[in-house]
Structure 1
């Protein structure tokens, strides 16, 4: 963001989003999170780890507990894990949704899970009582309909009652999961709501990419708006952490994000769009990190990026892999965020077995361990529960003995490397599928019978 017009952008953004009750709080948070860092030069990342002083002073004590994290992602987008699709139009909808969440937490507790990463912003809607976003249609079938209870508060109450932590999981830029005429019409119908969808309030921020409506990450006011959403949750709910997933610049072949005009408007000083895009992602992470620490220093901030930062073929600091890289595909310099102390934790998605040569689990786990080693950033590894028990030509190990040997190897490695502080399973509903039951029994023996605080 340009420092000379920051206050104007904040004021304009707040007026358009009708966040009057939160204007003072949000403006203060954004001002404290001033993001006037200089454009980076286009250079191959140095190796070994750069010794440049961090942008943010690392806290003497990490924001989160030092105990091992045994986590699960609980997705609400498309009702993948919760709420049950059958509950949405039921006469006793609230009771069904709350009972399902209680049953889920009870099962997770019995498996030894101690942290739930709960998707509170699956798109441009909210699963909490927001003054910025309309209620999620995942709850009632209609965007903006009050569900009659606050799912985030309910989750926090029930999880904390069981001694489990909750991280509010945000998809920062996604506005919708598709661009179908019915979706567009539903978004347009929110114009009369308070709050309405960002789709109608800030149509100039909206782009299409990967067959979705998304926000353009290059627009400073859009990044301010995302920061205000995080500030609202952190200020008003006792969340233990905040997590962004890997959807920053999320494109697909033939479905690229058209940000040429945005680049012309805001890309001064950059010789190419790729560096400018990484700068934009950096700005978001910087200002969200600083905002959280100003509001509630004890709330942990983390990101769960794609598992490969860069391949060694493109960068000597990269991993010995040949997979899609977050740096080049999502324009997210995740290694830099760790080095600069912007994150309390990072949770790379290492969704491959030991035998997958293009992206070996052990190669990547150890590479990330070396990245966090000289920092205070904690490392949690995301593993592919969704692949367990599923036939795959390139990854047959997931089928051997119900996937238990592969799962055991991954958990053993995580526990043996001092820099790895936990594991997160993707995702909750796969704990209930027939093909994973041998692995679930193993988890119950390993985690459930050996709980950690």
Structure 2
């Protein structure tokens, strides 16, 4: 699961009208110390963090033709998530520089109608929040901060930030991205998070692992040269991402909304390939939680190397210093069910309880919660339906659900 500071003109008039009718969360006064995580009253504060990711791939299978059709589909989805024993839904609401809600910053997602910028006639996020909370589930808004397109998908409308601010966009062979080095981009992303926090009763903001899209020095060589920094280009890139994370965390703190990220499971790859200094975020409290994607099995071995096995990676993250109150969770790869993880040995992904076994190990490894990627791998897995059902039943036992 990248950036901007925006001029809104007539778009604001059109888009802010529906927002005015939405319930608004008020930012804390500037003089009031901001909480480090979303406040939760009473016994709910002790609830375990058990999350399921619902991605844009799931939205492709959901009926957006009307509010009633959408509510029917998400009701089934949320019932399954609650029945699993989960407590949190990580709902991807901003996948490609567009939104599953009316926004002054982003056009409606193509996932709603097939055409980016076309209003579906209802607010999917408002219905999601309401339906999740009615079932006792928390809902975090999963945002991809930089990505605009994967390849040529989606087709961009005139109100895309990439069309309105073409100077903010950089391209790779894999797609289009907002420029991580641009301070206006960072402010734009942060302002759009404030819009989410103010207009929806969300429980968190969740970033995925899409930070810098390439290691190619040419990607931003001109910006780097113009910066005049004494840092290396790699360190300069990391500071650009750090600046975004700190700015966004400050926004969520003002609204009492928790802020978390799901970086790549290998700490070194985060640092060297995506320029995300996740260890610093843990140490300095730039996030309220971190949920690295530990998408390999307990038995994973490649060419005699077990360093990417689930236990090894979890222990490596748990060994990193954490600021007071910052939580460490683990992302588990439900999409590995039946497909495996590329290990040279082992059969755990073919036995029907790989995820449950990982969940049972977490507390002993110093990890405080978990997320499962992703919903359809568990509940709409046509290729490995029986295995997925076995995994679901085993997870319920691990999470002590009858």
Report the more deviating stretch, 353-362 or 370-379: 370-379
Find the counterpart in structure 2 of residue 301 from structure 1: 259
Q: Deviations over 1:288-338 (max 9, x none)?
A: 1112212x12x100111001222xxxxxxxxxxxxxx10000000001011
- Is 2:104 aligned against 1:160? no
Asked if structure 2 preserves the Cα contact closer than 8 Å seen for 1:388 and 1:398, the reply is: no
Q: CA RMSD in A?
A: 2.6
Find the aligned partners of 1:262 and 1:366 in 2 and give their Cα distance: 38
8 Å contact kept, 1:156–1:238: yes
Q: Which secondary structure state, in structure 2, belongs to the residue aligned with residue 412 of structure 1?
A: helix
Aligned partner of 2:357 in structure 1 is 409
Q: 1:99 offset after TM fit, Å?
A: 1.2
Alignment map for 1:220-299 (pairs within 5 Å): 220-251=183-214, 258-265=219-226, 267-294=227-254, 296-297=255-256, 299=257
Contact 1:111–1:448, Cα closer than 8 Å, also in 2: no
Whether 1:444 and 2:377 are equivalent positions in the alignment is: no
1:314 matched to which residue of 2?
none
Q: How many residues align?
A: 370
TM superposition shift of 1:399: 4.7
The partner residue of 1:383 within 303, 326, 332 is: 332
Q: Where does residue 217 of structure 1 map in the other structure?
A: 180
- Residue 52 (structure 2) pairs with residue 72 (structure 1): yes
Distance 2:37 2:228 in 1: 39
Change (3 A) 1:109 1:120: same
Could you tell me which residue of structure 2 aligns to residue 54 of structure 1?
none
Q: What is the CA–CA distance in structure 2 between the aligned matches of 1:386 and 1:277, rounded to whole Å?
A: 31
Indicate yes or no: 2:390 matched with 1:427: no
Deviations 1:113-139 (A, max 9, x none): 110000010011000111111000101
Q: How many angstroms apart in 2 are the aligned matches of 1:352 and 1:17? A: 48
- Could you tell me which runs of 5 or more consecutive residues in structure 1 were left unpaired when the two chains were aligned: 1-8, 23-28, 33-56, 311-324
Measure, in 1, the Cα distance between the counterparts of 2:241 and 2:37. 26
1:341 is aligned to 2:285: yes
CA distance in 2, matches of 1:17, 1:422: 44
CA contact (8 A) 2:35 2:253 kept: no
In structure 1, distance between residues paired with 2:350 and 2:225: 55
Given that residues 249 and 330 in structure 1 are in contact (C-alpha distance below 8 angstroms), is that contact kept between their aligned partners in structure 2? yes
TM-superposed CA distance for 1:94, in Å, is 3.9
Cα distance between partner residues in 2 of 1:203 and 1:290 = 27
Q: Which residue of 2 aligns with 1:143?
A: 116
Distance 1:448 1:210, change over 3 A: farther
Q: How far, CA to CA, are the matches of 1:167 and 1:17 in structure 2?
A: 30
SS across alignment from 1:125: coil
Partner of 1:131: 104
Decide whether aligned partners of structure 1 residues 62 and 126 sit closer, same or farther in structure 2, where only a CA change above 3 A counts. closer
- CA displacement, residues 7-59 of structure 1 (integer Å, 9 cap, x when unaligned): xx96xx3357955798xxxxxx9xx8xxxxxxxxxxxxxxxxxxxxxxxx995
| Structure 2 CA distance for partners of 1:389 and 1:397, relative to 1, 3 Å | farther
Give the TM-score, by structure 1 length.
Answer: 0.75
Instruction: Give the superposition deviation at 1:206.
Output: 1.1
Contact 2:340 2:349 (8 Å CA) reproduced: no
Deviation at 1:60, TM superposition (A): 7.4
CA drift at 1:448: 5.7
Q: Which of 314, 317, 327 lines up with 1:368 in the alignment?
A: 317
Distance 1:222 1:16 in 2: 18
1:6-25 matches, within 5 Å, as 13-14=6-7, 19=12
> What does residue 5 of structure 1 align with?
none
| SS state at 2:70 partner | helix
Distance 1:347 1:157, change over 3 A: same
Q: Secondary structure at the match of 1:420?
A: coil
TM-score by length of 2: 0.85
**Structure 1 counterpart SS, 2:281:** helix
Point out where structure 2 has 5 or more consecutive residues left out of the alignment.
Answer: 17-26, 301-305
